[in-house]
Amino acid sequence: MVGGGVVGLTTAVVLAERGRRVRIWTRDPVERTTSAVAGALWWPYHIEPVAAARAWALRSLEVYERLAGRPGETGVRLVDGAMGETDPADVESWAAGRLPVLRRATAREYGAGTAVWTRLPLIDMAVHLPWLRERLLRAGGSVEERVVSDLAEADAPVVVNCTGLGARELVGDASVRPVRGQLVVVENPGIDTWLVSTAPDGAMAYLFPQPGRLLLGGTAEDDVWALDPDPAVAEAIVRRCAALRPEVAGARILEHRVGLRPVRPAVRLERTELPDGRLLVHHYGHGGAGVTVAWGCAEEAAALAASP
């Protein structure tokens, strides 16, 4: 297994718990992967193909609902909030009966227009990623920090490529590209529900309450590779969020984060071969929804990785 973000870790867990010997090679420790930056609200965002992504997301929802029974251990909580510029009927069309709460938001809950009020998994990645790693280790797997320049380096009968944006160089896939996201972490002034809003000009604002902090976002800048936080962008994020929740104005800033979503015209989830005939499974290009689809995708990838 190459790649140690949420998709790689979850896939490794599924394989290991099915009795396979699994070793992850990852360039960065899990705490410094792109996944660690994620706001991590369950929602199939910025991912294709839509129908498959929704199926993977709903399977993952089942898992997250179970994990939410142990939030301190897994980092998963079920939290109410408003998804702006969304009609409940549109959500019902693909998630009917699967969400415990689903209705039109009131004007008090969301005053900027039409919104869905629902209860979704909100994942604290600072807890969830190390928990996934420990679950893998308990299942007999291992994690090694190592830079890989060629998938043929992996000395295993089956290689699974979960390198995300790294696949652009590692396997020459120019169709996977970055969509830059920036967010601001502040002291939480008492907000306990999440909110996502998109302005008519496409500018996003979201507020995700995590234990001990509040995540404010965000941006979606196509083909931008810069990893340094932009102070002007940060100011604009706080301003947009404060327009929705005035108590955010003046909240003490704790941290700035930047991540590059690995977007592709469609998730690459397919079985092929290395030049020497060994089995290779590609599993990358999940855009902004890696957390959302992780378990559903992992099960499909594990099936592809099964022996012929």
Binding residues: 34-35, 163, 206, 261, 287-292
C-alpha 57/C-alpha 30 separation (Å) is 22
State which H helix or E strand residue 84 sits in. Answer: strand 76-84
| Tokens 């800033």, residue located | 253
For residue 257, the surrounding DSSP H or E stretch is strand 253-263
Binding site for FAD, residues? Answer: 34-35, 163, 287-292
Residue with tokens 């998804």: 83
Q: How far apart are the first and last CA of the chain?
A: 18
**Contacts of 195 by beta carbon, 8 Å cutoff, 6+ apart:** 81, 82, 84, 110, 205, 206, 207, 244, 245
Residues 6 or more apart in contact with residue 197 via CB below 8 angstroms: 84, 85, 110, 112, 115, 204, 205, 206, 240, 244
User: Please, what is the Cα angle at 94 between 88 and 96, to 5 degrees?
Assistant: 65
Rounded to whole angstroms, the Cα distance separating 38 from 260 reads 10
Q: How many CB atoms lie within 10 A of CB 54?
A: 18
DSSP letter (8 states) at residue 289: G
Three-state secondary structure call for residue 156: coil
For residue 264, give the 3-state DSSP assignment: coil
Residue ranges at the known binding site for D-dopa? 206, 261, 288
Beta-strand relationship, 204-210 and 158-161: unpaired
